[in-house]
Amino acid sequence: QVQLVQSGAEVKKSGASVKVSCKASGYTFTTYGISWVRQAPGQGLEWMGWISAYNGNTNYAQNLQGRVTMTRDTSTRTVYMELRSLGSDDTAVYFCVREGQTGTTVYFQYWGQGTLVTVSS
């Protein structure tokens, strides 16, 4: 079965960086893209960006351009999301999500368990 297992919770100081990992199993890794979605405490869902597991192409949300980098390692079937220059408003649960596609419709089919990143001053 498809599984996405994320790294553990992180506590970071303002201005620091965080790198969250997402290890995939149960499917052909390079066939599907991975998105990252975050959720601040008590808030809704925010799409952060996408990476192709096939060739590493990326597409980032404009408000995070320059602060976020998504990479993948096909040998370990792992995707990484690094966020730099952290501020208090980056405190959130970060989810990796494997896409599914039917026809031209793409959807977030499988979700990791989430990684809580807490930014303190």
Q: Which residues bind another protein (CB under 8 A)?
A: 35, 37, 44-47, 50, 59, 61-62, 95, 100, 102-109, 111-114
Q: Which is nearer to another protein, 75 or 107 (CB)?
A: 107
| Helix, strand, or coil (residue 29) | helix
Given strand 18-25, what is the order of strands in its sheet? 3-6, 18-25, 78-83, 68-73
**What is the spatial distance between Cα 62 and Cα 53, in angstroms, rounded to a whole number?**
21
d(C-alpha 110, C-alpha 95), whole Å: 10
Give the shortest CB-2-to-another protein separation in angstroms: 12
> Please, which residue, 29 or 110, has the CB nearer to another protein?
110
Identify which of residues 80 and 95 has a Cβ nearer to another protein in the complex. 95
Fill in the amino acid letter for 118: T
Report how far residue 119's alpha carbon sits from residue 1's, in angstroms, rounded to the nearest whole number: 34
Residue closer to another protein, measured from CB, 16 or 106:
106
Closest approach of another protein to the CB of residue 121, in Å: 26
